[in-house]
Structure formats: C-alpha cells, structure tokens
A and B are shown apart, each in its own frame.
Chain A
Amino acid sequence: MEIKTKVAAGQVSQADGKAKMAARGVDMYYGEKKALKSIDLDIREREVTALIGPSGCGKSTFLRCLNRMNDVIEGAKVQGDIRLDGQNIYDQAIDVVQLRARVGMVFQKPNPFPKSIYENVAYGPKIHGLARTREELDRIVETSLTKAGLWEEVKARLQETGTGLSGGQQQRLCIARAIAVSPEVILMDEPCSALDPIATAKIEELIDELRSNYTIVIVTHSMQQAARVSQRTAFFHLGELVEVGDTAQIFTNPKDDRTQGYITGRFG
C-alpha cells in the first residue's frame, strides 16, 4: 500500500492540540465508485470534531473508516493511512475487535439491543472482560449511565427492556453502552437526526460534558448543531475534504467558496 506522506511536505498545518487520530491520503472505494478522495484530517484529543457537508459527500463514510466499520461492506476498500496514537489502524497487526473497543460508535438511529437496560450497558464490558465481579459490573453500568445522564431516569427500572425507552433515552442508552467499554474516541453518526428538539438538546449537552474525557467525532446535517457542540469543523463535499478549521473560523470566515456556499444555504 502506498502511503503518501503529506505531513512531511508540510501541506497539513494542524498545529496546536495533540492529534488523537490522523488520516493521511485516505482513498475509499465502494466497488468501482470512489467515495473518498485523498482525505487528510487530524482529530484532536478531547475535542469535538464535527464533519459537515451535503448528503452523499462522504462524511459518514469517513467516520466509519475511523473504526473500520466499512470492513463488513462487500466491495469496500480503503487506501491510505489512518493512525490512532501513531499506530496505523489498517495494519495487519491490528485486531479490529480491540480497535472498536478503543474507538466506539453511536449510530444515527438509536439501536438498543432487545435486552434489559442493564444488559445493554453491561454487554460491552462483559465481552471484553472488563469486570471480574458482579459488583464491578454494577459499578461500570452505573457510572456509564450516570455519564450519559440517564441514571436518574432509569435506576428504578434497570431490568426493563431497553427498547421500551423513548427515542432520546434510547440514544443516551446507546451512548452509555459505548462509554461502558471505556473508549478513547467516540464516533457519532448523526446521533440526533431521529430525535425531537428537546432530546437533541440533552444529547448536545451530554456531548459537551463528554468532551472532558473523550475525543469525539460527530457527523451532523445541522450546521447549528456543529456550531454549538464542536471545537473544530471539517467540511466535506463530493468525497473531498474541502476545508477544516476551528468551528468559529469555519462559520464566520470560511476560506473556500464551497464552504461559504454551504453554510449560507446556497446548496446542500
């Protein structure tokens, strides 16, 4: 695999803030179709990075490359270099199962397992052997639910099924489920697109709180949401990364005409 080293060439100037994940020259194909074209992007530690862009621009595809969720799609092929703490995640030596424990994911539609609330959160710790005793597991479940802001609402009914919760609660349950395996990075694929404004506000608040402990990448269609929750924003268009920068700068003073056009609503 040919790895382009644009960092050395100084083309990527993403100075302050330590990069938790770094993508260099990432090309992605679905069969013959090229979905991503040479993406260079740094994801900074303990910050929220928002990926925005019109539908089909490749932002979700890029997100799924970050924990290799595209592996299961037939005909999907990734070229280039994505590093987590300096280690190439597409390296043969990397165990994809371990990778996904470090880079967790929250999906567009809340997808709790048809199990009890407790079992939903305990699922990850159980398969990774994070708890040796029942008490440890109880503690992990409680802290995860607390961090996800759901503990007070569900502590009396942990044995009820997770699919019986409201949409917003389900999504927070999915976030708690992701937190329970102590990931370093959390990927969120339009986590609020199926939720009402109040539930959305709660999730956004939660994302802001989680930032102190986790590195977060969020794909969103809502520019207001990107502006509210993220520190850095990357604008994708037709499989290319057009522009990346501090959120304030992207929304007030974009350098590229296409970014300008998108955020002012001329297309997308």
Chain B
Amino acid sequence: MPLLFLTLVLLGLTVLAYYLGRSQALGASATGRLHSLPSYYGYYAALWCGLPVVMLLFAWLTLEPRIVIGLVVNSLPPEQQNLPQAQLDLILTEVRNIAFRSMTMANASPAVLAAAENLKRLTTLANWALTVLALVVAILGILYARSRIRPDFRARNTVEIAVEWILIGCSTIAVLTTAGIVLSLLFEAASFFFRISPIEFLFGLKWSPQDAIRADQVGGSSAFGAVPLFTGTLVITVIAMAVAVPVGLMSAIYLADYAPKGLRDVAKPALEVIAGIPTVVFGFFAALTVAPFIRDLGPLVGLEIGAQSALAAGIVMGVMIIPFVSSLADDVINAVPQSLRDGSAGLGATKSETIKQVILPAALPGIVAAVMLAISKAIGETMIVVMAAGLAANLTLNPFENVTTVTVQIATLLVGDQEFDSAKTLSAFALGLVLFFVTLCLNIIALRVVNKYRERYD
C-alpha cells in the first residue's frame, strides 16, 4: 500500500477512534458521573491510536532503507562486497536505478541485475509489513483506550500530559536540527583541517583556493589563509553598521517619539518595505549605481577608486539593514512606559533630553539586541558583496579597494560541480564553521548585555 494512502487510512482511524472514545464515554455516563468532558475521552482514544503509529512510522522510515540496503549488499558476490566504499556506492546506485527507475543498463552484470531484483522484492515486502504493522498498532491502541474508559477515568489530565509531551517533541526538532547542522559542519571542517592546518587557515595571509589538475598548471598553487576574508567581512560590516545604526536608530526615535500618529502609520510600513526588497536587487543597485558613483567621486578627492569597492557594498548593505534596526528599535522605544516620559517632562526636561537620558538607557537592551541582529545580518549577507565588492581576496582595510567576504567565498566555492574530497570544497565548511562561531559569540554577547542592563520598569 503506498505511504500516502496508508497515512490517509490511519488518519481516518484516528478520527474514528475519537468518536468511538467519545460515544463510549457517553454510554458509560449512564453508570456514573463522568470525570471529564466526553470529548476528552475521544481525544484520549485518538491519541492512543495516532501517537504509537506516528512513532512507528518515524522509526520505520529511518531504519528501513538501511536494513534493506544492508540485506542487498550481503546478497552481492563477495568480491563486490569487499570493494572500497566509493565503488560500492556506485554499484548500489546502479542497482537502485534498475530497480526503481526502470532503467535498462546495457552492460549491467548479472550480479547487479539479481541485486536489483532482490531490492525490489525486499522493498515491496517491507511496505506490506509496514502497512500491516501500522494498522495492527492503531487498532490495538483503540482497543486499549476503550478498555480504560470508565466514568471515573481522568481523561482530561491524561490528555494534558500527552499534549505536553507532543509539545516537547516539537521543540526538540529545532534543537536537533541545529545540532545536526553543527555536527556536519564540524566533521567536514575536521576533514579540511586534516589537509590544511588550522594555524595556516586562521592566520594565513593569502587566500587562493584552487586544485591543480596538472602539476605544471599556471596558478595551480593553492593557499588557504582566511585572514583576507575576515578583514574583508570586517570592513564591509563596519561600513554597513556605520550607516545602519545611526540612521536606523534616529528614524526609530523620530517614529516613536516625534512623528504624529498619522505619519507614523504611513512611515513605518513604508520603511519596512525596504526589508522586502530582494538582496539581489540591492546588489545591482550597488553595482550599477552606487559603485560607479563612488568611483567618479574618487578623482575629485584625489583617490583612485575601482569600479568595485568595499565602500559601495557596505553603504548599500547598510541601507538594506536600516529597517531591521529602526523597526526593532522603534518597538523597544515604544515599550518604554509613558509614565517615564511624563516623569521626565514633569521635571522640565525637553523631548530630546528625555530620550537621551531616560528612554534610550531604558531601551538599551532591546537596542543592543537589534544592533546584534543587524550585525549578524551584515556578516551573513552575500549577494550585495558579490556584485559590488568583487571576489578578489585582498588583504586590506582600505574601503576603496575591492574585497571579498566569508559568505561570498563559501558561495563561489560550492557553485557548480565540485569534488567532495578536495581541500578547495572542504574549505567552505571550515569557513562556515568560523562564521557560525562568530555569530554564536555575537548572540551570546547580546544576551549577556541584555540581561545585565535589563531594568525593571512598571
């Protein structure tokens, strides 16, 4: 039975379980007062029908492919079983293609054909086994629930406990996903660091990731010193923050404390529209408008500025981030109670004195959080930098030169066909790990600042 159909049947069974449970409870209410509302007995039965089946399906879908493939490998001739992992994978892919995509391989060996037949048979068997097992589990669940339903059974409390566990299960998913991503980053980065020493990666001054195909190839020498990428990221982030933080904060202050209500209702969504513009669009705005403008400005102040510069990318990125800062800061400034504004005004403070000395200190934790979020956003931004700042890994702090950032290099390293066992490809994971670590530190700092300066006001 196909999985989709099975799912529908099981859903139907769960709904049926609800009605069975409820009607049984209603019937039982003749013999005594029910502890809970009848629907709780229905939920109880439905949970007993649905939850074990969901767990079964989950476990089955994780384990089944491995077991089946293991059986298929065991049925292969011994000389093929003992092949290296990479070649074994190739054979298995071939087996799968023959079994499931009905491809006919002209030169397929009899062993492979037999294995494909075997795989097909095992998979069908497994599907039927799953169907039967799932239905049995569901029906057993219903029967068990029905055996428990009596007027004095505390269905309401039991359902409450089940709900709590379901919620815990859902929240674990996000945590587990994060853990999985971190682990995969760690393993790939580790295999990179077996090839290139971490010292060279973290402190090397030259970034030129390539794989020499021939020994005498021009430019075949590779270097994995990531410092130019770090400085590039730093320069662009600093420029972006220099634009976004003051402008965003001041527009937030204007919106929160000065703007008349009508203007605020129009201006705030208008400002947030910027956040909806795709970064690619910002990218060509940066590359086609801002960068040439800065280049033309160069000679006026006696500077030689190229068509791509960190300054152009940084400024446009800053503009892109303004709404993040302003919107979040506006929210926290608005959250400062009116009573503090009144108190300050009642002492004869002007509006700007009140904002500077009372509102901003009170809103500081939120503002710091907003800035930290903006920094994470700037560090993670890729598109604008590709288009406006270039790909050249120059080690410089000069904002008029072209630079490149960590994310841009990750993108270029993984675009197109890549071998997964070369240092060039794996370096992307090492860069990703560094990026993850930096943003993690920023978040921790932000949390600490928020907790330290959090003030109680109410």
**Interface positions of A (Cβ within 8 A of B):** 67, 69, 72, 74, 97-101, 104-107, 109, 111-115, 123-124, 127-128, 161, 163-164, 174, 177-178, 181
Contacts and interface: CB of A to CB of B under 8 A. Distances in A.
Given A113-B340, A163-B457, A101 B361 contact: no
Contact of A113 (B260, B350, B353, B358): B358
B34 interface: no
Nearest to A68: B345
Contacts of B361: 114-115
A105 B455 contact: no
B56 interface: no
A98 to B, nearest CB: 7
Interface in B49-68: none
Question: Which of B337, B339, B342, B346 has the most chain A CB within a 10 Å cutoff?
Answer: B346
Interface of B: 260-261, 337, 339-340, 342-350, 353, 357-358, 361-362, 455-457
B455 A163 contact: yes
A67 B361 CA distance: 26
A127 B339 contact: no
A109 B340 CA distance: 10
Contacts of A181: 347-348
Nearest to A174: B343
Nearest to B354: A127
A113 B260 CA distance: 25
A107 B348 contact: no
B282 to A, nearest CB: 37
Contact of A69 (B260, B342, B357, B455): B342
A178 B346 contact: yes
B348 A97 contact: yes
A174 B361 CA distance: 18
A100 B358 contact: no
A113 B348 contact: no
24 contacts: A67-B346, A69-B346, A97-B349, A101-B347, A101-B348, A105-B342, A107-B339, A109-B339, A111-B337, A111-B342, A113-B343, A113-B358, A113-B362, A114-B455, A114-B457, A123-B347, A123-B357, A124-B347, A124-B348, A127-B348, A127-B350, A128-B348, A163-B455, A163-B456
A112 B339 CA distance: 9
A145 B358 CA distance: 20
A105 B261 contact: no
A112 B347 CA distance: 12
Given A114-B456, A123-B357, A163-B456, A177 B347 contact: yes
Contacts of B260: 74
A124 B346 CA distance: 10
Contacts of A174: 343
Contact of B362 (A106, A114, A177): A114
A227 B346 CA distance: 26
Contacts of B347: 100-101, 104, 123-124, 127, 177-178, 181
Nearest to A67: B346
Contacts of B344: 113, 123
B342 A161 contact: no
A195 to B, nearest CB: 15
Question: Which of A100, A106, A128, A164 has the most chain B CB within a 10 Å cutoff?
Answer: A100
Nearest to A180: B347
B363 to A, nearest CB: 10
A178 B261 CA distance: 30
A112 B456 CA distance: 10
A181 B343 CA distance: 13
B356 to A, nearest CB: 10
A107 B456 CA distance: 18
A101 B353 CA distance: 14
A46 to B, nearest CB: 21
Minimum-distance CB pairs A-B, first 7: A114-B455, A105-B346, A101-B348, A100-B348, A111-B339, A124-B347, A111-B343
Nearest to B342: A107
Nearest to B357: A123
B455 A161 contact: yes
Contacts of B349: 97, 123-124, 127
A87 to B, nearest CB: 16
Contacts of A101: 347-348
A174 B457 CA distance: 14
A69 B353 CA distance: 16
